[in-house]
Amino acid sequence: MNIPFTPVVANLMGAQGLVIFMILLLLFGAKKLPELAKGLGQAIREFSKAKNEVHDEIMREANNPTPRIEQPVQTASIPQPAGTQPTSATQSAPAPAQHTETHA
């Protein structure tokens, strides 16, 4: 088994690594320890795969920016004075009725 030399692994290669291994052996037993190591290896592979996919997606978007579609700007309507109704050019308002008084 070829373990790359990194600072994290270097800290576990001495007496500390032996102590951690003995504690794990006591907690889980000799039969469970290989299953735990296999599960840990699979978890590390899945994490690395997901990390690489996210990194590739970010690099792809950085190298090939897609044009953004601008949304139309909605203009605000001018508020009407209180007590009035908006009139439209296509509708004609009826003329107000005129009252005439007749004196006899």
The whole-model pTM stands at 0.42
Q: Which residues form the domain of 51?
A: 7-63
Residue 57 lies in a domain: yes
Residue 25 lies in a domain: yes
Residue 48 lies in a domain: yes
Residue 96 lies in a domain: no
Residue 59 lies in a domain: yes
How far is Cα 63 from Cα 58, in angstroms, rounded to an integer? 9
Residue 24 near residue 33, CB atoms below 8 Å: yes
What is each CA distance from 5 to 10, 21, 56, 75, in whole angstroms? 6, 19, 27, 63
Residue 54 lies in a domain: yes
93 Cβ contact list (under 8 Å, min separation 6) = 87
Tens-level pLDDT at each residue, the chain (104 residues): 566 666 655 566 788 888 888 898 898 888 888 898 899 999 999 999 999 999 999 988 888 766 666 776 676 666 667 766 655 555 555 566 666 666 65
Number of structural domains in the chain: 1
Residue 37 lies in a domain: yes
DSSP H helices, 1-104, are 7-11, 15-63
